[in-house]
């Protein structure tokens, strides 16, 4: 239990630090792409597997596919609000939108194949709905002190999410698993550092990589009760990496 908690507290902040450093060198889209690694959802689903059993975790992974719809809604709401308001208003609006969509879909029948289709359609639609800012990127203003601040903020969100999900059923827990923990941090700091264009490009990179997260959840939903925890997570992570590399190729072509 303590080991898994430390894993969650270390992995997500480390990802934010890596994404910040890479984004400073390669641009905000790469920041979003790096956030496609399941460093928050992965440990949470692993914790479900060990504490509640593989079946519970498989059901949560299946529901987590529907949670992608809520995450997409957060991205669209945040960027639309950020066109006219500062990041606190955009962040709160995005969280409210995530909660509202999650509430609406909590009673939707859950099947892995239909959830996966809906998730992929939501990703595509949200990419189309993101605003197209005409202004150029502002000069990067990332300071060395920013990285620890981002890591601390990420750790706080991870602890809060874990506490909120404690005691919920597999379906609701799965819906909450994609809660925008890392997404909130990278979007807020991107807007603060490089304005709306920075936030939009960061979330474009994230949404492009969400197909990898979808594959991660599909593999877990299909294999956890059949092949065991270790093999299922190893296979899911391998699939995640493959789809992330495919998304990276798409981002490079789009950049050119």
pLDDT at 254: 63
* Domain housing 169: 2-255
pLDDT digits (tens, 9 = 90+) for 79-110: 999 988 889 999 999 999 999 999 999 888 88
Prediction pTM value:
0.86
Out of 117-121, 144-148, 192-196, 216-220, which region has the weakest mean confidence (pLDDT)?
144-148
Residue 46 confidence (pLDDT) above 90: no
- Can you read off the two tokens belonging to residue 221? 């939903």
The fraction of the chain above a pLDDT of 70, given in percent, is 83
- pLDDT tens digits, residue range 183-200? 888 888 888 888 888 899
pLDDT tens for each residue of 142-167: 555 667 776 777 777 667 766 665 56
Query: What domain count does the chain have?
Result: 1
pLDDT at 250 over 70: yes
């Amino acid at each position: 239990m303590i080991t898994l908690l430390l894993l969650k507290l270390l992995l997500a902040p480390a990802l934010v630090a890596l994404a910040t450093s890479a984004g400073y060198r390669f641009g905000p889209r790469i920041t979003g792409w790096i956030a496609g690694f399941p460093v928050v959802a992965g440990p949470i689903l692993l914790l479900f597997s060990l504490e509640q059993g593989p079946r519970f975790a498989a059901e949560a992974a299946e529901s987590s596919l529907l949670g992608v719809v809520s995450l997409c809604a957060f991205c669209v709401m945040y960027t639309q609000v950020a066109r006219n308001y500062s990041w606190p208003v955009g962040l709160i609006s995005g969280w409210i939108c995530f909660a509202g969509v999650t509430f609406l879909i909590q009673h939707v029948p859950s099947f892995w194949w239909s959830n996966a289709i809906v998730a992929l359609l939501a990703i595509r639609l949200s990419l189309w709905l993101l605003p197209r800012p005409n202004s150029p990127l502002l000069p990067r203003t990332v300071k060395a002190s920013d990285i620890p601040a981002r890591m601390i903020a990420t750790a706080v969100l991870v602890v809060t999410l874990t506490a909120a999900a404690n005691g919920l059923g597999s379906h609701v827990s799965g819906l909450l698993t994609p809660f925008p923990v890392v997404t909130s941090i990278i979007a807020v700091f991107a807007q603060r550092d490089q304005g709306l264009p920075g936030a939009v490009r960061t979330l474009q990179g994230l949404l492009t990589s969400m197909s990898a997260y979808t594959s991660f959840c599909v593999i877990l939903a299909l294999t956890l009760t059949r092949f065991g925890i270790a093999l299922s997570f190893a296979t899911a992570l391998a699939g995640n990496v493959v789809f992330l590399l495919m998304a990276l190729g798409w981002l490079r072509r789009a950049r050119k």
